[in-house]
Chain A
């Protein structure tokens, strides 16, 4: 690559960014070394040229997803040095109001949409941003930056493949610095180059010298042009050298000391500076001005950060959900939403699975930003449980997108598209499979609003089936995992028990500003109910009381509700009046309805199909005991599934789950009848 491939203006712009990055990185390390700052920091020394050159071909509206070795990336993309530095200080003027910190810088204004602390996790999300750009025809390109270590993570495989299948405008930028934390590249793979793997996905792969701005700019320009022409992704590998240990203060003993010393003596900045003088004829004084300006910019940013306020108690519960009162312990009382106006559409008898498809159909007809993704959701299958039957025929395969069997890629694509403002509804076939994409769900969908200080939001829906007590599915296709989701702040959790609620709740989820997990009980999929035509919504956080009673409150959700109703009917025969509460949503939790009921009945039994031990019922029971200890006539009862995997044998399966007879017996014991 000849030096002439860059104009002097381009070369100086790249050098300016390299110097600004270096000044920022140096200042942070100086402050850490002097005890002025103290946090886990991943220096970028040696890698400055990569984003400086690669991002120089991007437009401001192009987007970047990056990883925790981030300072070079975020500065090169155009984030404010002041806000970056303030975030390092944990100040409320930082990019993420001090909530994200150095591992989670986000600056949507400059196009840095996500910085993840999870190796490899940015790639699925970048696909989603690129998918939104493709859908909307914006011409935007998305670059996802990651290290060589991330190329050995499963998400890499899923993401490269999906990006290739959908020809997404995304550039996979591998900054290969020869170490995955403390383990060398040679010890991590037998691939000579990460880019060699691209061929396996039908993707263009290019390896360039990470110290050569000319080569990187040219390769990036080619990749961007390919993406904008609609020819899909590129895997661009920039081979570079990490000029320090993994993190500030971490050992460098695992690194080749001679190579390290040689690299430090001749950094990419040194090399490029010498070339700017020798090959471009740029005056020494011009370079010194750039260097001085960078130092001044960093000093200004440091002072700005130093004088900025820290987040306070008022900020503790904000930016978790759009509405702070969703947070169960925020101290802001959750108010049960008022019941909506009754739907005006003509009611028809539909099975729950048809009601779900109906909700999806209505949303897609209403809003071009709504689209579906998932395995086997297209016709003629229409989903393994028929919840999307007919939709691809009606709305097309662009909007009802079948995916490879790649759960991380599916959820990541939904997250990215949601970050871009679309309203994706992704299906994870059964709840058990969410366990292979929990990182995307719990570390990303749930937390991106918070980690960005509210600057990004993830209005997606994940639909997933909880099987159970339908027979023959066994231990890995039948679990109810809502307690896991409920344990991580940031998700809303919905579990409908009937066809009418399923449609109204799903429509609410689709238009909700927060990520929603929509749990569909296979047990009620084929149970019919009266479902109005058209759009109607059931607000999240509004429990239903399908049966009123005075002696005991049976609190349940999902397919526990029909069992509880069966028990209530049996109890009535022996003179016990049981009230049944259908929570419908677990987060937000309609505590006012629960509390009002138990205050009246003075007895409570919580029923759910999930395992009882450490289940959602434990939380409800604890809260009830705290609020009603002296008022209760009996200890709060819980009846969940037994603490066993779900057995294949129908008898074992039945013994595992609670049922109407068991609920009746427990309720009778609590009432003392």
Chain B
């Protein structure tokens, strides 16, 4: 069993922070690898992010708040 922490990703060299626009999943959901889990807005664009891993997800961050790259936003327990 592994716990994987997802953080605000660095999607471009200049990206410093991002804002989660929407969670497509909720705490306790079982998710698949490749499943879209949230959308994020950074300086340039909006991107829908896929899960790198299958497992049970726990959300750590709310939508609408701007957070620095590297801020933990969710955990996946596999």
- Chain A interface (Cβ within 8 Å of chain B)? 27, 30-36, 38, 247, 249-251, 299, 302-303, 306-307
Contacts and interface: CB of A to CB of B under 8 A. Distances in A.
Contact of B13 (A27, A30, A33, A249): A249
A30 B52 contact: yes
A35 B7 contact: yes
Contact of B9 (A27, A33, A303, A307): A33
Contacts of A34: 6, 9, 37, 49-52
Given A30-B34, A302-B53, A35 B73 contact: yes
Give 7 nearest A-B pairs by CB, closest first: A35-B9, A35-B7, A31-B52, A30-B52, A306-B2, A34-B52, A249-B12
A250 B44 CA distance: 12
A303 B52 contact: no
B73 A30 contact: no
B2 A38 contact: no
A302 B5 CA distance: 13
A34 B72 CA distance: 11
B46 interface: no
A38 B10 CA distance: 7
Contacts of B64: none
18 contacts: A30-B34, A33-B49, A34-B37, A34-B49, A34-B52, A35-B7, A35-B10, A35-B69, A36-B6, A38-B70, A247-B13, A249-B10, A249-B11, A249-B13, A299-B33, A299-B53, A306-B2, A306-B4
Interface string B4-28: 1111111111010000000000000
Contact of A38 (B4, B12, B69, B73): B69
B78 interface: yes
For chain B, the bracket of interface size reads 20 to 34
Interface string B36-76: 01000000000101111100000000000000011001000
Given A27-B52, A38-B10, 20 more contacts: A30-B34, A31-B52, A33-B49, A33-B52, A34-B6, A34-B37, A34-B49, A34-B52, A35-B9, A35-B10, A35-B49, A36-B6, A36-B7, A36-B52, A38-B7, A249-B13, A249-B15, A299-B33, A302-B53, A306-B2
A31 B33 CA distance: 10
A299 B51 CA distance: 13
A234 B49 CA distance: 44
Contacts of B53: 36, 299, 302
Contact of A36 (B5, B12, B69): B5
A32 to B, nearest CB: 7
Contacts of B69: 35, 38
Contacts of B2: 303, 306-307
Given A30-B52, A306-B2, A307-B2, A35 B15 contact: no
A166 B5 CA distance: 53
B7 A33 contact: no
B6 A35 contact: yes
A308 to B, nearest CB: 10
Contacts of B51: 30, 34
A250 B11 CA distance: 8
Contacts of A35: 6-10, 49, 69-70, 73
Given A30-B34, A303-B78, A307-B2, A38 B9 contact: yes
A35 B11 CA distance: 9
Contacts of A32: 9-10
Nearest to A38: B10
A251 B13 CA distance: 9
Interface core residue of B10, B34, B78 (most chain A CB under 10 Å):
B10
A192 to B, nearest CB: 33
A36 B37 CA distance: 13
Contacts of B50: 30, 33-34
Nearest to B8: A35
Nearest to B49: A34
Nearest to B14: A249
Nearest to A295: B33
A299 B37 CA distance: 19
Contacts of A306: 2, 4
Contacts of A307: 2
Given A30-B34, A306-B2, A250 B12 contact: yes
